[in-house]
Structure 1
Amino acid sequence: MALVFATNNPNKIAEIQTQLGDAYDFKSLKKIGCTEEIPETSPTLAGNARQKARHVKDNHRHDCFSEDTGLVVDALGGAPGVDTAHYAGPERSAEANNKKILDGLGTRDDRAARFKTFICLILDEEEHLFEGVCEGHIAVAPSGTDGFGYDPIFIPAEGDGRTFAEMSREEKQGISHRGRAVAKLINFLSARA
């Protein structure tokens, strides 16, 4: 089955390709010639996932899926949420984003947070939505060199006290928000095969 993943983020592509394996003819936006900036103007993660998938389907005529992920920090009023990628500014700097969260939390004890991922699949003109959530908390300082984005400061509740950036890709996928959403996507596709 040919399936386009509506992103050019190489980290997300690598994570999801590992999970999808060889069962699908997996294509990135670059492989289908989609070079334009895809809008993400929805006030919700699910809305942004849908908007990106719909753009690819309407403009490039491929069955596809898209995802949007947000980090929700309770003590910051749910921020960064839908603004996760550009929380500290339009340059989308992971280091600046992490610093802004750590500065915002300061020495607070309440560091509860969760990652949420929504995947929107458009298959034969039908839309399907899958959600993955990973509960955890924010570390007091960055730790680890693997992963990307907020991985150096997010400690999953189901882990062993390490940040996502201290885990291997396989360890992270087993408990992560994106891994869980992709697992639901794979189960759905397998049931239709």
Structure 2
Amino acid sequence: MLRYVTTNAGKVREAEEYLGDEVSQLDFDYTEVQASDLAPIAAYGAREAHRHAGEPVLVDDAGLFVDGFDGFPGPYSAYVEDTLGVEAVRRLVTRELDDVRAEFRCVLAYCDGEAFDASPDPVDRDDRVAAAAAGAERDDEEREPLPVKLFEGVVRGRIVEARGDGGFGYDPIFEYDGATFAEMDAAEKNGVSHRGRALEKFGEWFAER
């Protein structure tokens, strides 16, 4: 059984669209390390979750990347949402920028404790952030690094005034092809979302794993 590590049941339902009943939720509070990129954050979480569960795990990290702000808030999207709020981000973008283009990115990290064959999708083989993130009480350098397979999904759009009652997070202010993510039903959003695109890549690979 593949365990999707999240407290958000909506993410699990989205994963089920691509993985069927092979996936179930694992509510585990892994360490979210600080990094300027999504991949090492997701990779560290996958390693920690696999060591905790002893089962194949899937961890995702996602963010909103605004072109005119050099990708900010990016990996800090959840923190910015919690501290400033989504509407404050929209006001900042529309007040300060003429170019309101942005993209959602999602990185899925898979770990089952085994090695991976070479493929176009990247593999993170280094626990380089483990010791710093975990603190001095744990000697991660003595442990064998766990390889983690990474899958990325991206969807381009733009920041607009909030519309729609669905979704969560930045969905009401992110417009794709004329509709915000919050205006789409679950099936429509899953078909075009950054997470859905990453899950599609992962699902095709996982079927051969």
TM-score range, shorter chain: 0.7 to 0.9
1:29: how far off?
A: 1.6
Q: In structure 1, what is the Cα distance between the partners aligned to 2:202 and 2:85?
A: 29
2:64 maps to 1:71: yes
Answering whether residue 190 of structure 2 is matched by residue 170 of structure 1, we say: no
Q: Which residue of 151, 159, 176 maps to 1:138?
A: 159
Hey, what does 1:40 align to over in structure 2? 32
Give the stretch that moved more between structures: 99-108 or 58-67: 99-108
Following superposition, the deviation at residue 17 of structure 1 comes to 2.3
Equivalent residue letter for 1:46? A
Q: State the shift of 1:122 in Å.
A: 1.0
Tell me, what secondary structure is at the counterpart of 1:152?
helix
SS in 2 for 1:85: helix
Q: Letter of the aligned partner of 2:187 in structure 1?
A: E
* 2:48 equivalent to 1:49: no
* Conservation of the 8 A alpha-carbon contact between 1:5 and 1:29: yes
Instruction: List, as ranges, runs of 4+ consecutive aligned residues in structure 1 with deviation greater than 3 Å.
Output: none
CA contact under 8 A between 2:154 and 2:194: conserved in structure 1?
Answer: yes
**Can you give the 5+ residue segments of structure 2 that lack an aligned partner in the other structure?**
116-147
d(CA) in 2 for partners of 1:76, 1:97: 17
Structure 1 residue ranges without an equivalent (≥5): none
- Does the CA contact (< 8 Å) of 1:11 and 1:148 recur in 2? no
Cα distance in 2 for residues equivalent to 1:191 and 1:60: 23
Give the alignment of 1:1-193 within 5 angstroms. 2-22=1-21, 24=22, 26-30=23-27, 34=28, 37-43=29-35, 44-88=37-81, 92=82, 96-107=84-95, 108-126=97-115, 127-139=148-160, 141-156=161-176, 159=177, 161-192=178-209
Displacement after TM superposition at 1:124 (Å): 4.2
Comparing 13-22 with 143-152, which one deviates more in the overlay? 13-22
Q: What is the Cα-based RMSD across aligned positions, in Å? A: 1.6
Deviation at 1:175, TM superposition (A): 1.2
CA distances 1:63-103 after superposition (whole Å, capped 9, x unpaired): 11111001100122311100111114xxx37xx53112112
Distance in 1, Cα, partners of 2:19 & 2:40: 23
Q: CA deviation at 1:106?
A: 3.1
State the secondary structure of the residue aligned to 1:8.
coil
Query: 2:80 & 2:106 partners in 1: Cα distance?
Result: 17
TM-score by length of 1: 0.84
Q: Which amino acid aligns with 2:164?
A: G
Paired positions, count? 175
- Give TM-score scaled by structure 2 length: 0.78
